[in-house]
Structure 1
Amino acid sequence: MPLPIVGTLFYSGPPLHVLHDDYAKQGRIDDRAPVVAAAEVDVDAPPATVWRLLSDVAAWPSWNTDIKSVTLDPAVAVDAAFHWKNGASSIRSRFAVVAAERELTWTGVSTGIRAVHRNTLEPLPGGGVRLRSEESMAAPLIGVIFPSGVLQRSLRKWVEQLKRTAEAA
Structure 2
Amino acid sequence: MSIFEIDRRAPVRAGAEVVVAAPRAAVWSVLSDIPAWPLWCPGVEGVWIESEVAQGTQFDLMIGGQQIRARLATVEPESSLGWRGNGVTRQERVLWSLSDVAGGTRVQVEASVGGLWPRIWRTAVHRELSRMVEGWCQNLASESVPTASGCAA
Task: Give the TM-score, by structure 1 length.
Answer: 0.78
**Matches of 2:57 and 2:132, distance apart in 1:** 24
Equivalent position SS for 1:147? helix
CA RMSD of superposed structures (Å): 1.7
Q: Does 1:136 align with 2:96?
A: no
Gaps of 5+ in 1: 1-24
- Paired position in structure 1 for 2:50: 73
Count the aligned residue pairs: 144
**Bigger Cα displacement from structure 2, 63-72 vs 101-110:** 63-72
Code of the residue aligned with 2:133 in structure 1: it is L
Alpha-carbon offset, residue 93 of structure 1: 0.5
Code of the residue aligned with 1:131 in structure 2: it is V
**Matches of 2:41 and 2:3, distance apart in 1:** 27
Q: Does 1:96 align with 2:89?
A: no
**Matches of 2:97 and 2:51, distance apart in 1:** 23
Structure (1/2) with the larger helix percentage: 1
Equivalent position SS for 1:26? coil
1:49-60 paired onto structure 2 within 5 Å: 49-60=26-37
| Deviation digits for residues 93-134 of structure 1 (CA, Å, limit 9, x no counterpart) | 100100000000000111131111000001112x31111000
Gaps of 5+ in 2: 148-153
Of residues 55, 62, 73, the one that matches 2:39 is 62
**Matches of 2:145 and 2:43, distance apart in 1:** 20
Alpha-carbon offset, residue 144 of structure 1: 3.5
- Paired position in structure 2 for 1:164: 142
Of residues 61, 71, 83, the one that matches 2:60 is 83
4+ residue runs of structure 1 moved beyond 4 angstroms?
none
Percent identical pairs in the alignment equals: 33
Alpha-carbon offset, residue 65 of structure 1: 4.8
**Matches of 2:66 and 2:138, distance apart in 1:** 21
